[in-house]
């Protein structure tokens, strides 16, 4: 592990060129790799030698970018996936299968909720959803003998609640299972969940890590701290021979530091193939180089927007965990003392129609189904993603008709505030 600060790791971790090699991480745009003998390649297939043989499993560009993300999170191993969806699916499916159970926070990204509640349910994996603000008692009551993992988001998209990582880690460990945390919104610049007890971290790198809306992608990072071998009956996939890989036992061959990611690559990437293109990994790396510069600016701008909205007569409520008085302000101070994220949500007085007029009045902020990149963008679910729903149906989905999700970019704050002020005057 590197002993540099995160701002330095954003630039240098994961790749050190030797004499005369490219200064930038090279894009290895090749599906295959050549070997002199069949035996040499056979050793790779048996996971007995290290090396590349087919980009569906691993590629040098991707691995160098993954190593940077591992360093940023303080983990022992990492892999890239082609999307955040694939990262969350793999992270859980690597240790849970048909008949198993997972405890998850209710406050998670809608796409992740659908993945768990609909698609993975069809695979025979059951989920129990718990309020992130529940008591330890309520949390412990959600576990079953078949529970294999606990899942939550450091800052939930779009609810903007903050996960009490310590509370969730304690409950997970008391039941002999790992805590998986989706750390997309704060990024490791603002929070490193491993320092608070999380075992596996996932990312939609599509958001701040890429930061410029260039490439969809995901990442999985292992802390190397969860001792699978203490629970061999719960995690047979990691602790007993894998017949689909010549009888390798991942925890024996790769240790706690490498077992989870090696199994995930060797089995899930091999069989599902959600690998990012090396070109996209390259874009992601360019984004990572400025992550430590961009995050403080996103947070500073978002706090200014949240404060402005809080005092505006046309705004009925504001949700931003970095805003003093917010229900999750204390948790945010504990886990993210340097800042949270750039996303603010708020309600416009006058409901759905007033929110629509506010949207129409924006000039700088673009209306986009995206969050967390350099350009300020905004979404009004009731008139876009959820437009077919009645106000009652929206309430049941936890989306109020007046809710505006505002993703604050890194433009000059004076221009962002002028845009918001001008649009609110028309709401």
Ligand X SMILES: *Cc1c(COP(=O)(O)O)cnc(C)c1O
Residue with smaller CB distance to ligand X, 85 or 94: 85
Residue 106 Cβ, how far from ligand X at the closest point, in Å? 14
CB closer to ligand X, 251 vs 274 = 274
Can you tell me which of 66, 96, 216, 269 binds ligand X, judged by CB under 6 A?
216
Angle at 63 between CA 57 and CA 68, to 5 degrees: 150
**Is residue 111 at the binding interface for ligand X, with CB under 6 A as the rule?**
yes
Give the closest residue to 336 by CA, choosing from 141, 181, 154, 178: 154
Instruction: Considering only the stretches 27-35, 203-211, 220-228, 419-427, report the one whose residues sit in contact with ligand X under the rule CB under 6 A.
Output: 203-211
Pick one of 14, 60, 75, 84: the residue that binds ligand X (CB under 6 A): 84
Residue 384's SS3 state is: coil
Measured from the CB atom, the residue of 88 and 147 that comes closer to ligand X is 88
Q: Is residue 197 within 8 Å of residue 177, measured between CB atoms?
A: no
Using CB under 6 A, which residues numbered 288 to 307 contact ligand X?
none
Question: Binding-site residue total for ligand X (CB under 6 A)?
Answer: 15
CA angle 142, 164, 207 (to 5 degrees): 105
Residue with tokens 């993703």: 407
Closer of 153 and 419 to ligand X (Cβ): 153
- For the CB of residue 32, give the shortest distance to ligand X in the complex, in Å: 27
Q: Closest distance between ligand X and the C-beta of residue 112, in Å? A: 5
Give phi and psi for 319, each to the nearest 5: -120, 110
Tell me the helix, strand and coil percentages in the chain, rounded to 5. 40, 15, 45
Q: Toward ligand X, which CB reaches closer, 204 or 356?
A: 204
Binding mask 149-188 for ligand X (x = CB under 6 A): ----x---x------------------------x-x----
For 153-200, the DSSP string reads: ESB-TTT--B--HHHHHHHHHHTT--EEEE-TTTHHHH--GGGGT-SE
Q: Rounded to the nearest whole angstrom, what is the least distance from the CB of residue 77 to ligand X in the complex?
A: 21
Among 61, 204, 251, 262, binds ligand X (CB under 6 A): 204
Binding-residue pattern over the window 91 to 110 for ligand X, x denoting contact by CB under 6 A: ------------------x-
Work out how close the CB of 268 gets to ligand X at its nearest, in angstroms, rounded to a whole number.
16
Answer for which of 55, 59, 206, 265 binds ligand X (CB under 6 A) is 206
CB of 137 to ligand X, least distance (A): 27
Interface map 34-73 toward ligand X (x if CB under 6 A): ----------------------------------------
Phi, psi dihedrals of residue 290, rounded to the nearest 5°: -110, 10
Cα separation, 377 vs 368, in Å, equals 6
Please list, in sequence order, all residues whose beta carbon lies within 8 angstroms of the beta carbon of residue 23, skipping any fewer than 6 positions away: 17
Residue showing the smallest CB distance to ligand X in the complex: 84
Nearer to ligand X, 352 or 380 (CB): 380
Which residue's CB is nearer to ligand X, number 107 or number 354? 107
Q: Residue 275: helix, strand or coil by DSSP?
A: coil
Contacts 24+ apart (CB under 8 A), 360-363: 360/423, 360/426, 361/422, 361/423, 361/424, 361/425, 361/426, 361/427, 362/419, 362/420, 362/422, 362/423, 363/419, 363/422, 363/423
348 or 408: whose CB is closer to ligand X?
408
Q: Which is nearer to ligand X, 281 or 427 (CB)?
A: 281
Q: How far is CA 209 from CA 138, 155, 173, 303, in A?
A: 34, 15, 29, 20
Residue recorded with tokens 């802390």: 223
Beta bridge partners of 334: none
Task: Point out which residues bind ligand X (CB under 6 A).
Answer: 83-85, 109, 111-112, 153, 157, 182, 184, 204, 206-207, 216, 218
């Amino acid at each position: 592990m590197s002993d540099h600060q995160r701002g330095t790791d954003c630039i240098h971790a994961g790749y050190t060129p030797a004499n005369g090699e490219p200064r930038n991480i090279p894009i290895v745009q090749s599906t295959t790799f050549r070997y002199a003998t069949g035996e040499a390649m056979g050793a790779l297939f048996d996971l007995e030698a290290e090396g590349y043989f087919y980009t569906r499993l691993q590629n040098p560009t991707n691995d160098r970018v993954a190593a940077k993300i591992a360093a940023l999170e303080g983990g022992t191993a990492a892999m890239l996936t082609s999307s955040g969806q694939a990262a969350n699916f793999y992270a859980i499916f690597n240790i849970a299968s048909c008949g198993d159970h997972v405890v998850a926070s209710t406050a998670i990204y809608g796409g992740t909720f659908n993945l768990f509640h609909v698609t993975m349910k069809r695979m025979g994996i059951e989920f129990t959803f718990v309020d992130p603000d529940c008591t330890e008692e309520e949390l412990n009551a959600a576990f079953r003998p078949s529970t294999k993992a606990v899942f939550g988001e450091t800052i939930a998209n779009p609810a903007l609640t903050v996960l009490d990582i310590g509370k969730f880690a304690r409950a997970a460990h008391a039941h002999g299972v790992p805590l998986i945390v989706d750390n997309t919104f704060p990024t490791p610049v603002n929070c490193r969940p491993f320092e608070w007890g999380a075992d596996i971290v996932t990312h939609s790198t599509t958001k701040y890590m890429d930061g410029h809306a260039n490439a969809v992608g995901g990442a999985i990072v292992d802390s190397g701290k969860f001792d699978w071998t203490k629970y061999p009956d719960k995690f047979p996939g990691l602790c007993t021979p894998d017949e689909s890989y010549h009888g390798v036992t991942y925890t024996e061959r790769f240790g706690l530091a490498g077992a989870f990611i090696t199994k995930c690559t060797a089995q899930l990437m091999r069989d599902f193939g959600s690998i990012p293109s090396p070109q996209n990994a390259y874009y992601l790396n360019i984004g990572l180089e400025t992550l430590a510069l961009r995050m403080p600016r996103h947070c500073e701008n978002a706090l200014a927007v949240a404060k402005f909205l809080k005092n505006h007569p046309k705004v009925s409520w504001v949700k931003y965990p970095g805003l003093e008085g917010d229900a999750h302000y204390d948790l945010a101070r504990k886990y993210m003392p340097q800042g949270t994220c750039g996303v603010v949500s708020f309600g416009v007085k006058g409901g759905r129609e007033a929110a629509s007029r506010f949207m129409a009045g924006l000039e700088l902020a673009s209306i986009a189904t995206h969050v967390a990149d350099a350009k300020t963008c905004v979404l009004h679910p009731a008139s876009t993603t959820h437009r077919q729903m009645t106000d009652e149906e929206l309430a049941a989905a936890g989306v109020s008709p007046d809710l505006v999700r505002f993703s604050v970019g890194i433009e000059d704050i004076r221009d962002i505030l002028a845009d918001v002020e001008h649009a609110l005057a028309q709401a």
